């Protein structure tokens, strides 16, 4: 619930949808800036009202000002890279100044661990590595030249506060990064599913297309018969009444085919005015009844022109390992139906076809 509210708040503030490609990166920088501002604000309060340390308070106030600049570049300029560089620069600079200024009092050296995690998450491994190496070089130099002057570090209340802040800062950044990555992967999966659906669906009729049907016929033993169906004299419909009317006729026929076949098979648009039906039925009488029912219902359809629309069919038994032969035989049966006066069906039952029915 909190995560959803946070995402909605960020979407509103950025005026950007969570499905946008840049949303994950922008929201990650936004969260990093916000966490950083909260931590700096706490230390400003601490160094002003509890343990008076004006120099540190001034440095931290400068950090807050730079965070506000980061917000500006993120929201108004849509410059995620600039906002990210500002965020990492603030974290690195203030951490180093605090470590050098305190000489590892109050467990200050622990703050050096923030930079490499945040820098690589926000800026990527190339620029992030650059910041990380600079940070390490400064810390290493300070340690090697000043370590002999350090006093033993007591683990007091402020040391525990520093430890807790660093721990939960890294935890928050890692959690948000991983949740954002998972959300991106989920969106990618949904997008791929949509693309797959589009690639296997006929745009006009919303039936499976030829690619989807061929995949079914090649990988399923459930298909016992196939039927090629062609709209009679469809070219004259387009020529006389226009392609919009022709498209309407195809959509009506497609819907009627799908409704009539139901769970007994799959209907696909094969191309143009041709459809292909894959029947799960094996009984020849059931196939003939379905074909007659289809032709009767389509012929009874009323369109916005005088003539009736009819279809011709050619059907044959199907075997998965010989589907090309079945296509050819169904097409030959369809040709015979056309030659017989149209609005009828023909069956092609050969030795191969009879074997498929066994």
- For residue 355, indicate whether it is catalytic: no
C-alpha pair distances (Å), 119 with each of 43, 81, 86, 94:
22, 11, 11, 14
Q: Which helix (H) or strand (E) holds 160?
A: helix 157-199
Helix (H, G, I), strand (E, B) or coil at 281: coil
> Cα separation of 127 and 106, whole Å?
30
Catalytic residue among 146, 273, 274, 306: 273
Residue 352: closest CA among 176, 167, 226, 208: 226
Both tokens of 308, joined, read 């009736």
Both tokens of 181, joined, read 């990555």
Number of other residues whose CB lies within 10 A of the CB of residue 44: 18
Backbone φ and ψ of 208, nearest 5°: -55, 145
Query: Count H helices, E strands: the chain?
Result: 12, 5
DSSP per-residue string spanning 17-86 = -TTSTTHHHHHHHHHHHHHHHHHHHHHHHIIIIIS--HHHHHHHHHHHHHHHHHHHHHHTS--HHHHHHH
Residues serving a catalytic function are 273
């Amino acid at each position: 619930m909190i995560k959803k509210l946070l995402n909605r708040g960020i979407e509103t503030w950025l005026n950007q949808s969570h499905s946008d490609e840049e949303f994950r990166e922008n929201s990650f920088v936004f969260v990093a800036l916000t966490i950083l501002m909260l931590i700096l604000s706490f230390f400003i309060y601490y160094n002003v009202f509890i343990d008076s340390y004006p120099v540190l308070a001034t440095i931290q106030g400068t950090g807050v000002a730079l965070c506000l600049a980061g917000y500006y570049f993120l929201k108004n300029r849509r410059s995620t890279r600039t906002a990210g560089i500002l965020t990492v620069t603030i974290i690195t600079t203030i951490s180093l100044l605090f470590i050098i200024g305190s000489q590892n009092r109050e467990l200050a050296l622990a703050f050096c661990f923030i930079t490499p995690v945040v820098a690589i998450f926000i800026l990527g491994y190339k620029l992030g590595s650059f910041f990380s190496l600079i940070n390490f070089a400064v810390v290493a130099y300070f340690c090697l030249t000043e370590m002999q002057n350090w006093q033993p570090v007591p683990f007091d209340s402020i040391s525990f506060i520093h430890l807790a802040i660093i721990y939960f800062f890294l935890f928050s950044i890692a959690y948000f990064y991983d949740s954002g990555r998972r959300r991106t992967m989920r969106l990618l999966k949904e997008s791929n599913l949509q693309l797959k659906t589009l690639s296997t669906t006929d745009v006009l009729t919303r039936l499976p297309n030829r690619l989807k049907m061929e995949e079914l016929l090649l990988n399923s033993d459930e298909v016992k018969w196939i039927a090629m169906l062609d709209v009679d004299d469809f070219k004259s419909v387009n020529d006389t009444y226009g392609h919009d009317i022709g498209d309407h006729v195809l959509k009506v026929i497609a819907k009627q085919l799908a409704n009539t076949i139901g769970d007994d098979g799959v209907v696909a648009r094969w191309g143009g005015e041709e459809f292909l039906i894959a029947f799960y039925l094996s009984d020849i009488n059931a196939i003939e009844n379905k074909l007659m029912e289809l032709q009767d219902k389509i012929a009874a359809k009323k369109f916005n022109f005088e003539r009736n629309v009819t279809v011709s069919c050619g059907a044959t038994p199907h075997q998965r390992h010989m589907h090309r032969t079945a296509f050819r035989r169904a097409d030959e049966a369809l040709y015979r139906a056309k030659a017989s006066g149209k609005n009828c069906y023909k069956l092609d039952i050969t030795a191969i076809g009879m074997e498929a029915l066994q």
